[in-house]
């Protein structure tokens, strides 16, 4: 073999060896890379599954993409994600029952004030331009809730009922409801011959409180005077409760002359109210055609265009995070939160309401509506978006948009000073014409007023 052939052979052998060496060294790292990549992929998938939010449990046919009232509490403390109630207000010794279904509002940011009223602004401001709701076509709608339903329901009003009193109450306020039933809302005042009817309105309790819902059902079995909606009973859901009051009046007591909405810490002078309603009917009053101050009788006999309350004027929108002691007391009715957690409870952002002042509106502790005003405001509320300050939204903004004016109730409100004078004997009952007391009246004062 010559040198040339030997060199070619050596080169071929070396080349084959190099090729074999390279292929063997690459196979092993390739297997390791595949195994590593597979492990990393599985880890990423597991992390994604753990981070992926689980759908909220739904009730009463609610969709998984809907959430409860905490959608109304943007940018609030995390303590606001759950609402609690003071256990000292009621004793619960009942056994557990199936929790009441919770409602849900669509999971989306709060609408701006301009979007809230865009539908109304596009239509005529006159009440006659609002479309009439036919029958029960909107039975399952409550503002932006499309799965609304009643958890507890009552029959319609009897034909002789002239005034329906709807009491806004919290689920745990059983003692306040009991006091009302023993005094101004007792069965004697709401008997078959009475022109009055009293119904308590409340929202749903949390799924974690089945004993409370069971106690509410037992209470309703005993008294048959409670209506419960399937939205969670919480401060930021008060607009749902207010519109539910208008809805229930329209569908169950629309023939009545008056809707009277009160809180459960107010005394209603039902003996005086029943007396005025029983007396012979007078022609419709024209309150703007006389300079003589109207009497309570003339106001209550006004058949149309009546929104009767103690109006709040020139109220500035609260932008601060600070709360007053009075506000804390009102908030604590609905929750057991620390003061630091309450500091954004009453704040309204510019995106929620862009103006600096609210229009004149009715504080919710006591409002009287004529039936036509109830229908008008209900229709407007069903078309508008959601704004959580219910008194401002319904009796302020929507009343203004529908050309509904407020009649001043102030002369017929018994304030704390006059209440004390009346109970002490300094003032005679026949000298003080009143329809409501101021809110937050003490239980012993309610009892004492009833005994007069």
Q: Is residue 49 in some structural domain?
A: no
Residue by residue, DSSP assigns 137-188 as TTTT-BTTBSS--EEE--PPPPTT--EEEEEE--TT-HHHHHHHHHTTTSTT
pLDDT of residue 23: 53
Distance, CA of 172 to CA of 195 (rounded, Å): 29
Neighbours of 358 (CB within 10 A): 22
148-163 core/surface letters (b: 16 or more CB in 10 A; e: else): bbebbebeebeeebbb
pLDDT of residue 287: 43
DSSP classification of residue 342: G
Q: Is residue 436 in some structural domain?
A: no
> Mapping DSSP to helix (H, G, I), strand (E, B) and coil, where does residue 408 land?
strand
**189 phi, psi to nearest 5 deg:** -80, -20
Q: Which residues of the chain have pLDDT under 70?
A: 1, 18, 20-137, 280-294, 321-345
Structure tokens at 321: 């995070």
Residue by residue, DSSP assigns 370-383 as EHHHHHHHHHHHHH
Cβ-contact 229, 384 below 8 angstroms:
no
Q: Is residue 438 in some structural domain?
A: no
pLDDT of residue 182: 95
pLDDT of residue 423: 82
C-alpha 319, offset from chain centre: 21
- Using alpha carbons only, how large is the chain's radius of gyration in Å? 32
Beta-carbon contacts of 198 under 8 Å, excluding residues fewer than 6 positions away, are: 165, 167, 180, 185, 189, 190, 225
Q: Is residue 339 in some structural domain?
A: yes
Q: Are strands 196-204 and 163-168 parallel, antiparallel or unpaired?
A: parallel
Distance, CA of 328 to CA of 341 (rounded, Å): 11
Beta strands in 207-365 (DSSP E): 226-232, 258-263, 307-309
Distance, CA of 337 to CA of 360 (rounded, Å): 31
pLDDT of residue 108: 35
DSSP classification of residue 262: E
Structure tokens at 331: 């908030």
Domain count, the chain: 1
Residue by residue, DSSP assigns 58-111 as --TT--TTEE-GGGG-TT--GGGGS----GGG----PPP-PPPPP--EESSPPP
**119 phi, psi to nearest 5 deg:** -65, -40
**258 phi, psi to nearest 5 deg:** -135, 145
Cβ-contact 432, 412 below 8 angstroms:
no
Q: Which domain holds residue 190?
A: 66-279+294-413
If we measure between CA atoms, which residue out of 206, 148, 149 comes closest to residue 172?
Answer: 206
Q: Is residue 448 in some structural domain?
A: no
Cβ-contact 227, 216 below 8 angstroms:
no
Q: Is residue 425 in some structural domain?
A: no
pLDDT of residue 202: 97
pLDDT digits (tens, 9 = 90+) for 51-77: 544 433 333 333 322 333 433 433 323
Beta-carbon-side half-sphere exposure of residue 16 (alpha carbons within 13 Å): 5
C-alpha 405, offset from chain centre: 24
Structure tokens at 67: 């959430």
Structure tokens at 308: 């009767």
Burial class (CB in 10 A: 0-12, 13-18, 19+), 451: exposed
pLDDT of residue 328: 54
Distance, CA of 354 to CA of 274 (rounded, Å): 43
> Mapping DSSP to helix (H, G, I), strand (E, B) and coil, where does residue 399 land?
helix
């Amino acid at each position: 073999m010559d040198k040339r052939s030997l060199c070619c052979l050596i080169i071929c052998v070396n080349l084959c060896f190099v090729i074999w060496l390279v292929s063997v060294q690459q196979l092993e790292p390739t297997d390791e890379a595949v195994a590593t990549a597979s492990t990393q992929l599985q880890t990423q998938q597991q992390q994604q599954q753990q981070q992926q939010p689980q759908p909220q449990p739904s009730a009463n046919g609610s969709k998984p993409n809907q959430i409860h009232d905490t959608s109304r509490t943007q940018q609030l403390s995390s303590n606001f994600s759950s609402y609690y109630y003071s256990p000292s207000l009621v004793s619960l010794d009942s056994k557990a029952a199936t929790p009441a279904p919770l409602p849900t509002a669509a999971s989306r940011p709060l609408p701006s004030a301009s979007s809230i009223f865009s539908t109304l602004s596009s239509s005529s401001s006159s009440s006659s331009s609002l479309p009439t709701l036919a029958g029960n076509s909107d039975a399952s709608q409550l503002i932006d809730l499309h799965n609304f339903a009643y958890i507890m329901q009552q029959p319609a009003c009897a034909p002789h009922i002239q005034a329906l009193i709807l009491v806004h109450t919290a689920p745990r306020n059983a003692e306040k409801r009991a006091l009302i039933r023993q005094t101004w809302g007792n069965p004697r005042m709401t008997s078959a011959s009475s022109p009055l009817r009293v119904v308590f309105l409340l929202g749903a309790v949390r799924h974690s409180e089945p004993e409370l819902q069971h106690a509410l059902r037992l209470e309703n079995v005993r008294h048959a005077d409670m209506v419960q909606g399937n939205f969670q009973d919480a401060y930021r859901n008060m607009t749902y409760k207010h519109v539910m009051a208008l809805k229930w009046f329209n569908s169950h007591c629309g023939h009545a002359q008056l809707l009277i909405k009160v809180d459960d810490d107010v005394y209603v002078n039902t003996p005086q109210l029943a007396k005025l309603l029983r007396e012979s009917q007078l022609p419709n009053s024209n309150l703007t055609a006389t300079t003589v101050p109207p009497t309570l009788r003339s106001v209550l006999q006004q058949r149309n265009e009546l929104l009767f309350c103690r109006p709040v004027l020139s109220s500035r929108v609260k932008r601060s995070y600070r709360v007053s002691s009075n506000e804390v007391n009102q908030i604590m009715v609905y929750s057991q939160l620390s003061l630091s957690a309450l500091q954004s409870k009453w704040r309204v952002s510019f995106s929620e309401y862009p103006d600096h002042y609210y229009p004149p509106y009715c504080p919710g502790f006591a409002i009287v509506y004529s039936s036509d005003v109830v229908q008008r405001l209900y229709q407007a509320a069903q078309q508008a978006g959601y704004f959580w300050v219910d008194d401002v939204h319904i009796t302020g903004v929507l009343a203004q948009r529908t050309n509904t004016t407020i009649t001043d109730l102030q002369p017929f409100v018994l304030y704390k000073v006059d209440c004390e004078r009346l109970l002490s004997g300094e003032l005679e009952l026949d000298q003080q014409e009143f329809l409501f007391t101021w809110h937050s009246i003490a239980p012993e004062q309610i009892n004492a007023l009833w005994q007069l």
